[in-house]
Structure 1
Amino acid sequence: MTRPFSGFEFLIAWRYLRARRAEGGVSVMTWITLLGITVAVFALVVTLAVRAGFRAEFVDTILGANAHVSVYPVGEVDENGNLIRGFTDYAALTEKVRTVPGVTYAAPMVRGQVMVSANDQVAAGDVHGMAKADLEALPRIGTGSKAQGSLADYDQGVALGSELARTLGVGIGDKVKLISPDGPKTAFGQAPRVKAYPVVYIFTAGRFDIDKVRVYLPFAEAQSFFNREGQADEIEVMVADPDHVEAMTDPLLGATSPNGSLWTWKQSYGNFLRALTIEDNVMFIILSIVVTVATLNIVSGLIMLVKNKGRDIGILRTMGLTEGSILRVFFLCGAFTGTIGTVAGVVLGCLFALYIDPIFSFVNYWSGGGVWDPSIRGIYNLPAQLQLGDVASAAGLALGLSYVITIFPARRAARMNPVEALRHE
């Protein structure tokens, strides 16, 4: 008895796959099956890479330009009975927060909503009042990010998001007006506060909704502009492990009690992230069905091959080949097709993911632009990130289905009666 998967079994299987011209139907079915598996695996690999890249880019733009944890005051009453909605001891509280293990950044901040005006254009602005050193430390905003201008003159001006600057038609050195309804009280009511500032810095955080409205103002100037003298509206905190920010809530609450309350980035964007997870799972299931349909073509191709090779099967059986050998020969026929198609699909998918930027730029140019709208999708380009687990799951799914499906027509060939196979020959 020969050992399983001997060399002659591979040789016979490979010979059967290279059908002669008279058996062109088998060859055509093999090529169709091979192409179908390749395209299905390619689509699955690309989808998983884009899914991973979109999530990574989306989360990175959130964590690089926003606080991982925001500490808000619960409110306190002063000696006159007035409710204070900010931190009056923000400097000491910030230092206390910085000492919490796992905290990498903490900064007091003043926030306010304004109208930003320049060149007869008006846009909404979300002002963040921060000190220059704290602004420089923000990964997506400060030093090292995609930006124009310099923060050296930040104390005498403002920093704008790139989309906001484009909307207003301003550049470095131009002036913008900030208009706040929370101005000084007069005999006729509360007057708006209007002040002009030069633009000294234009940043691109990577998220359209941030670049469209974000304005940074020096901390002391923001306190004066929004009538927050001696106060900070919140304390921005960044941690070493933002994916497990929940573990930091108790230590931070202990450091900020009794007047602090917390709001994490996952609470702000949790619904969107959960929606992404659901979408990822649905897309994987749908494309897995596509891969399954593609591998099912192996069955039809092998059935045709078994039918055309009935005489050969009978001869091989009379020569002493066992049912197991015949099963393995036709199993190898299907396995070859599935393996080659899977490898080709993985290679093409990985190449597409690696060169997605020039490919997408070409598609955008060929279609006349506007294929990717950052105002809808939030980020500026279509990212892709190859992960070994995703590629392995796509390849494993295709190979597993190919091997399992191949067994059924291979068993049919193995159980063919050699006498019946040679009766009409």
Structure 2
Amino acid sequence: MTGPFARFEWLIAWRYLRARRTEGGVSVMTWISLIGIMLAVAALIITMAVRAGFRAEFVDTILGANAHVTLYNSSIVTETGQITRVIDDYAEKAEAVRAVPGVVRAAPLVKGQVMANNQSYNIGVQVFGIALEDLKGIPRIADANTGQGDIARFDEGIALGAGVATDLGVGIGGRIRLISPNGVRTAMGTSPRVKAYEVVYIFSAGRYDIDHTRVYMPFAEAQSYFNREGLADELEIMVENPELVDELNADLMKAGGERTLLWTWRDASGSFLRALDIEDTVMFVLMAVLVLIASLNIISGLVMLVKNKGRDIGILRTMGLTEGSVLRVFFICGALVGLIGTLLGVVLGCLFAVYFDTILAFVNSATGGEVWDASVRGIYRLPAKLMLGDVLAAVALSLGLSFVITLFPARRAARMNPVEALRYE
């Protein structure tokens, strides 16, 4: 009495898989199913890796160039009837916020929208007034590998996004004019404020919208330029763990005072990230359907194999081979096709994901650079990020479908009547 999946069952299954077509061996359909499973598993792994890479790059550009939490005041009406929400005690509030556990940095900001001009070029930009030390604490902005110029000279001029510099046709050492409609207040009204600044630093944050709209100005100069003497518009807060930023809301509200309002990075990008989650699920389901279709081809291959091996099955049964042994022989045949196809798919998918940047660069250059448009998609590159969980999910899905589907033709072979199989032999 032998146990299930005995050595002779593996030997018979392996012999059937190696047999030539003329000997009634593996059919073309079996090879098609193997290749189909390989390509489907590879496509699933590549898709999940690209989706994970896009999400990681998108989130990194958000967290690396923007505040994790923005603290500002609710609006009030002044004695003159103006509505304002500026922060007059920004230094004290910043100090209180820095004392909150989990907060890395709290920087007062002055913000405003102006027009930037260089010769005949004009674009609208958003100016951030910030201190030099706080600017150095923004990873994507103060990155020496992507930045140009000397950030240490920030107090002597302004810092531009790479897109702004390109649109204005200006480089390090050049001068641009900033034009604000809310300028000097006179008896005749408010006249536009126009002032020239030297470009001392050019940064690339990795996001198209930031690089093409953002300008950094020294905090004191921004206060003067935007008529915010002794005031700040908001506090830019960076935390240790941005994923758990919501857990700090209560402490930040307490540190900010009664008029405090918060706007986290999740509030700003939450809807987009939720859309990405939905797309990830949909893409996984679609790719899983491809794996299912490829696995179904195993049925066709095994049915043809069972038909070709009908005489062998009858002989084996008359020699004492049980139905269970026959079932296991053909289950091994189908399972090996699924297993080999899955392993090849994992190798192909992982190699494609590892060299995805090179492959995308080649395709991008071959098509004239229109495959990935940063102005539409926001980020400049599409990385692929291999995650063990995604690979294991693809393997489990492929093997599970292959094993389950293999049972149907294997069961048919096991229930074949040996007398009928040998009647015409």
Same fold (TM over 0.5): yes
1:234-249 superposed matches below 5 A = 234-249=234-249
1:346-365 superposed matches below 5 A = 346-365=346-365
Instruction: Name the SS for the 2:182 alignment partner.
Output: coil
Instruction: Name the SS for the 1:232 alignment partner.
Output: coil
Query: Corresponding residue for 1:118?
Result: 118
1:172-211 superposed matches below 5 A = 172-211=172-211
1:80 positional shift: 7.0
Name the CA distance, whole Å, in 1 between partners of 2:82 and 2:213.
32
1:183 positional shift: 0.7
1:67-82 superposed matches below 5 A = 67-76=67-76
Query: Corresponding residue for 1:370?
Result: 370
Q: Which amino acid aligns with 1:414?
A: A
Would the aligned equivalents of 1:17 and 1:30 in 2 still touch at CA under 8 Å? Answer: no
Name the CA distance, whole Å, in 2 between partners of 1:119 and 1:415.
87
Name the CA distance, whole Å, in 1 between partners of 2:81 and 2:361.
61
Q: Does 1:392 align with 2:392?
A: yes
1:258 positional shift: 1.0
Name the CA distance, whole Å, in 1 between partners of 2:259 and 2:54.
38
Name the CA distance, whole Å, in 2 between partners of 1:355 and 1:80.
63
Query: Corresponding residue for 2:12?
Result: 12
Query: Corresponding residue for 1:35?
Result: 35
1:348 positional shift: 0.6
1:42-191 superposed matches below 5 A = 42-76=42-76, 84-191=84-191
Query: Corresponding residue for 1:320?
Result: 320
Query: Corresponding residue for 1:216?
Result: 216
Deviations 1:350-394 (A, max 9, x none): 111110111111111211222110000011111110000000001
Question: In the comparison of the two structures, how many residue pairs are matched?
Answer: 425
Name the stretch that deviates more: 178-187 or 149-158: 178-187
Name the stretch that deviates more: 25-34 or 305-314: 25-34
1:287-306 superposed matches below 5 A = 287-306=287-306
Q: Which amino acid aligns with 1:388?
A: L
1:292 positional shift: 0.4
Query: Corresponding residue for 2:332?
Result: 332
Name the CA distance, whole Å, in 1 between partners of 2:367 and 2:82.
61
Name the CA distance, whole Å, in 1 between partners of 2:145 and 2:216.
15
Would the aligned equivalents of 1:44 and 1:284 in 2 still touch at CA under 8 Å? Answer: yes
1:82 positional shift: 5.9
Deviations 1:167-212 (A, max 9, x none): 1111100011111111113344321111110111111101111111
Instruction: Name the SS for the 1:393 alignment partner.
Output: helix
Instruction: Name the SS for the 2:104 alignment partner.
Output: strand
Name the stretch that deviates more: 114-123 or 302-311: 114-123
Q: Which amino acid aligns with 2:13?
A: A
Deviations 1:318-340 (A, max 9, x none): 11111111000000000000000
With the length of structure 1 as denominator, give the TM-score of the two structures.
Answer: 0.97
Instruction: Name the SS for the 1:181 alignment partner.
Output: strand
Q: Which amino acid aligns with 1:146?
A: T
Name the CA distance, whole Å, in 2 between partners of 1:418 and 1:83.
93
Would the aligned equivalents of 2:24 and 2:309 in 1 still touch at CA under 8 Å? Answer: no
Query: Corresponding residue for 1:383?
Result: 383
Instruction: Name the SS for the 2:87 alignment partner.
Output: coil
Would the aligned equivalents of 1:19 and 1:27 in 2 still touch at CA under 8 Å? Answer: no
Would the aligned equivalents of 2:73 and 2:234 in 1 still touch at CA under 8 Å? Answer: yes
Name the CA distance, whole Å, in 1 between partners of 2:22 and 2:46.
38
Would the aligned equivalents of 1:129 and 1:222 in 2 still touch at CA under 8 Å? Answer: yes
Structure 2 unmatched runs, 5+: none
Would the aligned equivalents of 1:112 and 1:127 in 2 still touch at CA under 8 Å? Answer: yes
Would the aligned equivalents of 2:27 and 2:304 in 1 still touch at CA under 8 Å? Answer: no
Query: Corresponding residue for 1:284?
Result: 284
Name the CA distance, whole Å, in 2 between partners of 1:401 and 1:57.
33
1:159 positional shift: 0.5
Name the CA distance, whole Å, in 2 between partners of 1:138 and 1:220.
19
Q: Which amino acid aligns with 1:136?
A: K
Name the CA distance, whole Å, in 1 between partners of 2:77 and 2:30.
80
Deviations 1:116-135 (A, max 9, x none): 11131111101110000000
Question: Is the alpha carbon distance of 1:145 and 1:88 closer, same or farther for their aligned partners in structure 2, counting shifts above 3 Å?
Answer: farther
Structure 1 unmatched runs, 5+: none
Deviations 1:205-235 (A, max 9, x none): 0111111101000000000000000000000
Q: Which amino acid aligns with 2:193?
A: R
Deviations 1:283-336 (A, max 9, x none): 111111111000000000000000000000011111111111100000000000
Would the aligned equivalents of 1:145 and 1:203 in 2 still touch at CA under 8 Å? Answer: no
Instruction: Name the SS for the 1:182 alignment partner.
Output: strand
Would the aligned equivalents of 1:178 and 1:194 in 2 still touch at CA under 8 Å? Answer: yes
Would the aligned equivalents of 1:356 and 1:383 in 2 still touch at CA under 8 Å? Answer: yes
Q: Does 1:416 align with 2:413?
A: no
Q: Which amino acid aligns with 1:8?
A: F
Q: Which amino acid aligns with 2:255?
A: A
1:279 positional shift: 0.9
Question: Is the alpha carbon distance of 1:356 and 1:290 closer, same or farther for their aligned partners in structure 2, counting shifts above 3 Å?
Answer: same
Alignment RMSD? 1.4
Deviations 1:27-46 (A, max 9, x none): 31121111100110010000
Would the aligned equivalents of 1:102 and 1:239 in 2 still touch at CA under 8 Å? Answer: yes
Instruction: Name the SS for the 1:58 alignment partner.
Output: helix
Instruction: Name the SS for the 2:183 alignment partner.
Output: coil
1:145 positional shift: 5.0
Question: Is the alpha carbon distance of 1:328 and 1:134 closer, same or farther for their aligned partners in structure 2, counting shifts above 3 Å?
Answer: same
Would the aligned equivalents of 1:139 and 1:145 in 2 still touch at CA under 8 Å? Answer: no
Query: Corresponding residue for 1:343?
Result: 343
Name the CA distance, whole Å, in 1 between partners of 2:274 and 2:318.
62
